[in-house]
Amino acid sequence: MAYHLEGRLLEVCDCRALCPCWIGEDPDNGTCDTIVAYHFDKGSIDGVDVQNTTIAIVAHLPGNILAGNWRVAIYIDANASADQEKALLKVYSGNAGGPVADIAKLVGEVVAVERVPIRFEVMEGRGTIKIGDTQYAELEPCQGATGANTTLADTIFSTVPGAPVYVGKAPHYISKQPALGINLDLQGRNALQSTFVFDA
């Protein structure tokens, strides 16, 4: 087995809730700027333990998500070791195969790889992500009539293949990545949270 990863996802973008990318429709603004962060509660990659590390991807999608050609900047938790960084980049470049490779094949260009402090606090549909001094988002879940968090499943696209996601909104979403032309300070936009298990 190349990797086994278990953890939590936080995703936020500049679309209105719910982001149409998940059902294969064009993004609200014609393009989509997003943060997708994966925190690993446990896992290993080629024998390297990556427990308690985080990788975050800031991306500009030039059109429909399924058309690919994403331009991305990758952020690795500053607390990760050199071996952990190498292992995570192998998976998220698609070179280790498996479900993550299906997402990675949509990337057209990686404009930067940076090591920065990452704060990831997400549980049951609510949380916060802070990536260095340039990315920040809060997440609050939408709720159904019974008070349970609203979930989304069986979509044509997913950043956590095989898992349902909690649907929510971001009370605050800041993203600044000049190489991608991203300079956002927004309220009330799309946000999603989930747990995942990836094996390859």
pLDDT reading at 100 higher than 90: yes
Q: 125 pLDDT exceeds 80?
A: no
User: In which band, very low, low, confident or very high, does the pLDDT at 88 lie, cut at 50, 70 and 90?
Assistant: very high
**pTM as predicted:** 0.96
Work out the average pLDDT over 127-139.
96
Position 1 scores a pLDDT of: 72
- DSSP secondary structure letter of residue 179: G
Strand bridging mode 70-77 / 107-116: parallel
Burial of 146-155, coded b for 16+ CB within 10 Å and e otherwise, reads eeebebbeee
CA–CA dist 143, 139 (Å, integer): 13
The mean pLDDT of 149-166, rounded to a whole number, is 92
Q: Give 76's strand partners.
A: 55, 115
How do strand 48-49 and strand 53-61 relate by DSSP bridges?
A: unpaired
Mean pLDDT of 74-82: 97
